[in-house]
Amino acid sequence: MTQRARIIGVGRHLPARVMTNDDLARIVDTSNDWIVERTGIRERRIASETETTSMLAAEAARRALASAGVDASEVDLIVTGTCTPDGMFPAVSTLVQHAIGAGDAMTFDVNAACTGFLSALSTARQFIATGQAKKALVIGAETMSRIMNWEDRTTCVLFGDGAGAVLLEGVPDEDGASDAFVLHSDGSQSGLLYATGPCGPGEALAREAHLVMNGAAVFKHAVTSMSEACLEVIRDAGLTPADIDLVVPHQANRRIITAMADRLGLSGERVYMNLERYGNTSSATIPIALAEATAEGRLKAGDHVLLCAFGGGLTWGAMTFEWAGIRNPEAAVADSVVAAEVAAE
């Protein structure tokens, strides 16, 4: 019998340090009003010098396991979407495996920039569908602050650090659930959004990695591509936009999300947003938002959920599935209570 993957656990973890728009205004020519009006972002989290992407990822994974009531030893596969790993290798997933005690799990990372979590989730779902894995951790984790040009106000105001994770479990596909996903890319547009690095040509070798973006062009592409991907995946699942109970989009910019929702004819209460608190955490935005939506009671068993993202590459995609329910939703965000207390001291 064919297996399908359902989400049985969610979790997120964020650095304790909060950087507000006013904090940014002290280091670059900007203001709180300018940032909020153009992006909807009010603050973001920034990793400390000792925090790594794998550390954030491991804590989010622990929260996902706790919310499902599952031990790490039961995990068969760990896939992490990230474009800011701790180093060239080993993979973030491999470091997470050791940190949480999932010694028997297969591990690897995927890099599709901000679409990384959807790419990782799609990959893990197919491992489960073929019977190669029974339980899989899928993580989106980033330390985007490490690749910021803090003199470029068009980019440094947008991004933050954090991690989110989901735990998948294989179940018999007896009812033909309306699950579907699509992934797309266009390398001819790679110059619109990219990050330099130590392996790049020419001058890139002599300078630190940093992110470069053509904001206006990316905005236009994001609205169009995410809207079209959402309609494509809704059709593939045999649904209509009216069937969608909650959309969890990539948290890049409030105006992008609003424009996309308008194109789909979805009302505001069916679109989840938390970017005002965290900014764009790249591949981590969707799993962080899923964890918070779960803890807030925004999802119930049987709901049709729609995820969508776009990122450098250019890459974009969407996924829809039925929500199965979480055993202990409060555990998904428990660690961040401590982080908030530390930040407030």
Which candidate in 250, 253, 304, 308 is catalytic?
250
Are 154 and 207 found together in one domain? no
Per-residue pLDDT at 344 exceeds 80: no
Are 168 and 30 found together in one domain? yes
Are 168 and 184 found together in one domain? no
pLDDT of residue 177: 67
Per-residue pLDDT at 343 exceeds 70: no
Residue 114 known to be catalytic: yes
Are 149 and 245 found together in one domain? no
Read off the pLDDT of residues 218-235 as tens digits, 9 standing for 90 and up.
Answer: 999 999 999 999 999 999
Are 19 and 89 found together in one domain? yes
The CB-based long-range contact list for 290-293 (8 Å cut-off, 24+ gap) reads 290/7, 290/10, 290/164, 290/166, 290/248, 291/10, 291/11, 291/12, 291/60, 291/63, 291/64, 291/67, 291/164, 291/165, 291/332, 291/333, 292/12, 292/332, 292/333, 293/246, 293/248
Which candidate in 21, 111, 280, 304 is catalytic?
280
Are 184 and 136 found together in one domain? no
Read off the pLDDT of residues 280-307 as tens digits, 9 standing for 90 and up.
Answer: 999 999 999 999 999 999 999 999 999 9
Per-residue pLDDT at 31 exceeds 60: yes
* Structural domain total, the chain: 2
Residue 250 known to be catalytic: yes
Are 111 and 195 found together in one domain? no
| Average pLDDT value over all residues in the chain | 93
Domain around 111: 3-174+327-344
Judge contact between 136 and 4, C-beta under 8 A: no
pLDDT bucket at 175, cuts 50 / 70 / 90:
low
What integer is the mean pLDDT of 214-218?
A: 96
pLDDT of residue 196: 85
Amino acid, res. 28: V
Are 296 and 338 found together in one domain? no
Residue 111 known to be catalytic: no
pLDDT bucket at 68, cuts 50 / 70 / 90:
very high
Per-residue pLDDT at 77 exceeds 80: yes
Which candidate in 83, 114, 156, 230 is catalytic?
114
What integer is the mean pLDDT of 148-175?
A: 93
Q: Which residue has the higher pLDDT, 344 or 185?
A: 185
pLDDT bucket at 197, cuts 50 / 70 / 90:
confident
Per-residue pLDDT at 256 exceeds 50: yes
What integer is the mean pLDDT of 201-230?
A: 83
pLDDT of residue 199: 59
Are 189 and 215 found together in one domain? yes
Domain with 240 in it: what CATH number? 3.40.47.10
Are 302 and 339 found together in one domain? no
Are 142 and 217 found together in one domain? no
What integer is the mean pLDDT of 34-53?
A: 97
Are 27 and 74 found together in one domain? yes
Judge contact between 128 and 167, C-beta under 8 A: no
pLDDT bucket at 176, cuts 50 / 70 / 90:
low
What is the C-alpha separation between 109 and 78, in angstroms, rounded?
Answer: 8
Read off the pLDDT of residues 97-141 as tens digits, 9 standing for 90 and up.
Answer: 999 999 999 999 999 999 999 999 999 999 999 999 999 999 999
- The H or E element containing residue 291 is helix 285-295
Judge contact between 168 and 199, C-beta under 8 A: no
